[in-house]
Amino acid sequence: MIDESWKRLLPLLREREPIAQGEMCSAYYDYVFGTLLKWARWANSDAGAPVPDPELRDLVNELTGEAFAKAFARIDEYDPAKGALPTWIVWMGRRRMNGIVGSAIDHGLRSKGSIHLDDEVERAAYANQLESHPGWVALSPEQEIIRRESAAQITAILRAMPLDQARALVEVYVRSPPTRGRIAMVAQDMGRSSSAMDSLLRRAVKEFIRRLGGDGADSDEAGMA
Amino acid sequence: MSAKKGDDELSRATEALTAAFNDAPSPPPHFEEALETLSDTSTGVGEDELRSRREAFLARLGQGKSVGELLRGRREALDIDIPELSRRSSWRPERVEDLESNRLDLGTVDADRLGMLLVVLGLRGLGVLEEPLRLMARGHLAVYKSTSGPVFGRTRKGVSPADRRRDLQRDVASVDEEATDRQVDRYLRQVTETMEDLS
């Protein structure tokens, strides 16, 4: 239950009085910050948690400041009949959530897709991730195949595959959380159009399955569309 | 084909609804109840971190504002004139005017008296006022390092005691920063305690 000290401050806030604005922040900072942080954590978790929590808390701190500033600047629009003032401040922050936290989540997702698979070490690390983070793998037939096989076999197959195909598979199905638009994001990072990425993925999956079945493993070109 | 068209229309409608939801000046119905459920659980963020974020935020709010400017703004927002404030707080009107013009030397103001004035202005804590008041107090309550002998000077009209002390000590003794910090902390703490007692 939110305490109602804001009612005493409201007339002064409408006069844009700075000390009253400070009193409002002192009284409700924790509530607004805490509520927005929970919201931001949901969004971050939903995207596979690409933003570390300490960074998320800094972003929400910034968001909280913006929420208060926006609420103070637009206090004339506030209607007490539609809810408590602290709730309205959270609403102001919620409206800016996509801009501040959403951008960081998008950026975090894109950064995860920028590792180069032509680097032997990073490529091996990807194979390790495949073993250690099975939960990151989205529920698709391709991934079910990957999960059935041992990490060593998968590593061997990925190493033997053409670089761009191996990268596409790992970036989309291992590195990216199972969210909408991940293929488009990886496509952007790999400098391809969405349709080219889609085509590459199809070839990569086909090639992966072919190698998994031991069919013509010596020929990189065999079975390609 | 028609299914695809239907999906596109649904996506557009959903996007339009989301945009309208995000741009609404007031939260939707039941938003408050939803937040109450949300605020029941802990964030796991420690009290120290919360306090340091809150204080940094308050310091930013008070940045660039003087004590006098803030107090005058508060009095005017409350629609109280100086004689009325003077009557309620037992401060002389000219002292209130001096404080609002940043001319009053805090070295001549008891912390308790300042606390009482702030309570009359409806304050329950220093909040935004803390950093500007600390800055002002550092100038007025400066503690100088010991000198080898006495320093003599005369009282001059129109010069505040703090300015006179500073002028007299110039090139003779430097400010003892640590002792000044302690003095300022003590002063602010006393103001706060008075406010708490009177609120």
A30-57 confidence digits (pLDDT tens): 999 999 998 899 888 888 888 999 999 9
d(CA B144, CA B141): 10
Q: Which residue has the higher pLDDT, B29 or A134?
A: B29
How far apart are the CA of A83 and the nearest CA of chain B, in angstroms? 7
Mean pLDDT of chain A, nearest integer: 77
- The pTM is what? 0.64
Query: What was the pLDDT predicted at A219?
Result: 41
Predicted pLDDT at B83:
97
Structure confidence at residue B156 (pLDDT)? 67
- Domains, chain A, ordered by start: 6-112 (1.10.1740), 120-212 (1.10.10)
CA distance A195 to chain B (A): 18
Between A220 and B195, the more confident residue is: B195
A chain contacts of residue B45, beta-carbon cutoff 8 Å: 33-34, 37, 57
Q: Is the dihedral of CA B179, B180, B181, B187 positive or negative?
A: positive
Record: contact B41-A30, CB cut-off 8 A: no
Q: A220 to chain B nearest CA, in Å?
A: 37
pLDDT of residue A126: 54
Q: Of chain A residues 13-52, which have a CB less than 8 A from chain B?
A: 15, 17-23, 25-26, 29-31, 33-35, 37-39
Residues of B in contact with A11 (CB under 8 A): 77
Chain B hits for A83, CB-CB cut-off 8 Å, are 26-27, 31-32
Distance of alpha carbon B113 from alpha carbon A89, whole angstroms:
35
More confident residue, A194 or A116: A194
Report the pLDDT value the prediction gives residue B90, as an integer from 0 to 100. 94
Residue A152 pLDDT:
64
What single-letter amino acid sits at A105?
Answer: I
Task: Report the distance separating Cα B33 and Cα A95, nearest Å.
Answer: 18
Query: How near does any CA of chain A get to the CA of B9, in Å?
Result: 18
Alpha-carbon distance A84 to A61, whole Å? 21
- Residue B64 near residue A32, CB atoms below 8 Å: no
Task: Kindly identify which residue of chain A lies nearest to residue B67, measuring between CA atoms.
Answer: A19
Best probe of the B interface among A2, A7, A15, A26, by most B CBs < 10 A, is A26
* pLDDT given at position A224: 34
- What are the structure tokens assigned to B65, written together? 């504002």
Residues A112 and A189: their CA atoms lie apart, in Å, by: 10
Distance CA B148, CA A38 (A): 61
Our CA-based measurement puts residue B127 at a distance from the nearest CA of chain A, in whole angstroms, of 6
Tell me the nearest-neighbour CA distance from B88 into chain A, angstroms: 20
Q: How many CB atoms lie within 10 A of CB A168?
A: 27
pLDDT of residue A127: 55
> Is A136 part of the contact surface with chain B (CB cutoff 8 Å)?
no
What does the block give as tokens for A96? 């800016």
Which member of B26, B53, B125 has the closest CB to residue A82?
B26
Q: Which residues of chain B have pLDDT under 70?
A: 1-23, 29, 38-40, 147-158, 168-169, 171-172
Question: Among A202, A182, B11, A179, which Cα is nearest to B3's?
Answer: B11
Contacts 24+ apart (CB under 8 A), A71-76: A72/A13, A72/A16, A72/A21, A72/A24, A74/B25, A75/A13, A75/A14, A75/A16, A76/A14
Reduced to 3 states (helix: H, G, I; strand: E, B; else coil), residue A225 is coil
Give the A:B interface size as CB pairs under 8 Å.
106
- β-bridge mates for residue B144, sequence order: B175
Residue B36 and residue A8 in contact, taking contact as beta carbons nearer than 8 Å? no
Residue type, A48: G
Mutate to test the interface with A, among B33, B43, B58 (most CBs of A within 10 A): B43
CA dist., res. B166 & res. B105, Å (int): 12
pLDDT in tens, A9-36: 999 999 999 999 999 999 999 999 999 9
**DSSP labels for chain B?**
-HHHHHHHHHHHHHHHHHHHHHH-SSPPTTHHHHHHHHTTS-----HHHHHHHHHHHHHHHHTT--HHHHHHHHHHHTT--HHHHHHHHT--HHHHHHHHTT---GGGS-HHHHHHHHHHTT-SS-GGGHHHHHHHHHHHS--BPP-SS-------TT--HHHHHHHHHTTT--B-HHHHHHHHHHHHHHHHHHHHHH-
Give the C-alpha separation, A57 to B174, whole Å.
Answer: 42
Question: pLDDT confidence of A96, banded at 50, 70, 90?
Answer: confident
Residue A216: predicted pLDDT? 47
Select from A26, A31, A88 the Cβ nearest to the Cβ of B127.
A26
Contact assignment for A29 to B35 by CB distance below 8 Å? no
Higher pLDDT, B83 or A181: B83
ipTM above 0.85, yes or no: no
Q: Residue for token digits 């488009």?
A: A184
Residue of A129 and A4 predicted with greater confidence: A4
A173 is written with which tokens?
């199905």
HSE on the CB side for B73, CA within 13 Å? Answer: 19
